[in-house]
Amino acid sequence: MKKNKKRLIWWLIGIAAAAAVMICIYCSCRPKTAVGSKKVELEVVDDQNEVKTYSIQTDGEYLTDVMDELTKTSDFTYQGSTSTYGLYLETVNDLTADFNKDGAYWAIYVNGEYGQYSADQQPVQDNDDFKLIYEK
């Protein structure tokens, strides 16, 4: 019986150590934000392929910070819902993308590359070019 308890304790120690290593890896590899003033451009491409461009000087660290500032200073609007993966954009500039209806969604592009993060987790760097594109 004592042997089984020792084995269980070692398994728990091993799992805890593995979890600590995973947390350290995540913390060192996660996207970094830039502090201070940044010039950012945000383009919105709607379902008719019409483009609306917004330029802003911001101290925001994440894309949602930029989007929140734009809602206060321009005609830009957005709505979304939060999930375990972050903010899911549902409506941009009064155009709703309903994936369940027709497979449409708002894609985020960062400097020409498909975004890897949700809007609330996407870091902002100086001279970043963001695109929100209505896609099916």
Are residue 118 and residue 81 in the same domain, yes or no? Answer: yes
Are residues 134 and 104 in contact, defined by beta-carbon separation less than 8 angstroms? yes
Are residue 53 and residue 106 in the same domain, yes or no? Answer: yes
CATH number of the domain residue 47 falls in? 2.170.130.30
**Count of domains for the chain:** 2
Bridge-based pairing state of the strands 38-45 and 129-135 = parallel
Q: pLDDT in tens for each of the 136 residues of the chain?
A: 677 777 878 888 888 888 888 877 766 666 666 667 899 999 999 999 999 999 999 999 999 999 999 999 999 999 999 999 999 999 999 999 999 999 999 999 999 999 999 999 999 999 999 999 999 9
Q: Please indicate, yes or no, whether the overall pTM of this predicted structure exceeds 0.85.
A: no
* Phi, psi dihedral angles at 133 (to 5 degrees): -120, 125
27/50 Cα distance (integer angstroms): 39
Are residue 100 and residue 84 in the same domain, yes or no? Answer: yes
Q: Which two tokens stand for residue 91?
A: 């409506």
Are residue 24 and residue 88 in the same domain, yes or no? Answer: no
Query: What is the residue range of 25's domain?
Result: 1-30
